Amino acid sequence: TYETSKFLYSLEKRMGCKIKTIQTDNGREFCNDADMSPSLFQIALKKLGINHKRTRPYSPWQNGVVERSHRVDNEIFYARRRFSSEEEMYKSFKRYATRTNNICRRILKFKSPNEVLKEYQSRVA
């Protein structure tokens, strides 16, 4: 989609590097297997020169980190709050994302995602 293309392009610009591959499940928003034509998402990836890697059907464990992240986001953010407007939700989510991206993670050798990103950016700059 246009918004996806815009997001990926801005992400590459901010990161200062080219996105080589994106892995997704086989959801309809990513793939259009019903009529074998490319989805808008796939068209956007092709336009940006990004390889699309798909997980095997019915294999959610292949996206385990993402699936867990979605579950945690739902448990901590979405399930505990009610919003009176979309704007309120976005503001609240921005605070949640900032806090989440500054928490140290064992998987990242006890660094936060933001620390890892800054280190990466300094290496490729």
Q: pLDDT digits over 31-89, tens only? A: 887 777 888 888 889 988 999 999 888 887 888 888 888 888 889 888 888 889 999 99
d(CA 7, CA 93): 17
CA distances from 96 to 41, 71, 74 (A): 27, 15, 12
Both tokens assigned to 112: 């936060």
Do 95 and 71 belong to one domain?
Answer: no
Whether residues 61 and 98 fall in one domain: no
59 shares a domain with 74: yes
Q: Answer left, alpha or beta for residue 49, where phi above 0 means left and psi between -120 and 50 means alpha.
A: left
Give the total residue count for the chain: 125
pLDDT digits 0-9 by tens, 86-116: 999 989 999 999 999 999 999 899 999 999 9
Q: Which residue has the higher pLDDT, 17 or 91?
A: 91
**44 and 76 inside one domain:** yes
Same domain, 4 and 64: yes
- Structural domain of 121: 84-125
**pLDDT for 98:** 94
